[in-house]
Amino acid sequence: MRLSDYRAVLFDLDGVLTNTAEVHERAWARMFTDFLDARRAGGEPVAAYNDADYFDHIDGKPRYEGVRSLLASRGITLPDGTPADGAGQTTVAGLGNRKNEYLLSILRDEGVQAFPGSVLLLDRLEERAMPMAVVSSSRNACAVLTAAGLRDRFEIVVDGVAAATAGLAGKPAPDTYLHAAALLGVPPACTVVVEDAISGVRAGAAGGFRVVGVDRGAGRGELIDNGADVVVGDLAELAVD
């Protein structure tokens, strides 16, 4: 694939531009390990959290959707609650907010870095004046971009906050990517989506975009099977044309 053959590029954030996918994974693991262990200690026969759960049920989805998906995999139903729920409340929103507290704690203590290959690709695309946007399910996208020194590269950021404000369905629905493409004024068929998550790859394919999968752990075969046209291990591979 030659990105120069297209008119715009839409990037997912966590795991594509920055190493925060691993940070998200750790925060989810801590929250759900504690939650499920406590359920088992109370006599409920639920399976423990495992590494595959992140990719199977959580990766790339809006926060509360990730909570619902993982709970459903264990046959657990909780009240939705509201975004104002405290992190100690046993609701979908409460668990999601607890995970977010863990995430922000890790970011404060350890910071965040952009992948060097991703920065190289951004440099190449900027040299060509390629329109670009970030499309992320995270409500912390702007903070992460700022921490990684990338915020000023993107005029358009469609994140979890923007999606909620506009009433857009989250990934794997294509709505957020279609919204970003419309803001750039470029049709999906002329636009490339760059994703590392299965739900994001599905969103790009459903929207009629050309999809580049970045294999940060989801697996090349899984990305291809779910709609990626090509898969790379690092975005520097796309910076050569």
Q: Which residues are catalytic?
A: 12, 14
Residue 31 burial by CB count (10 A; 0-12/13-18/19+): exposed, middle or buried? buried
Question: Of how many residues is the chain composed?
Answer: 241
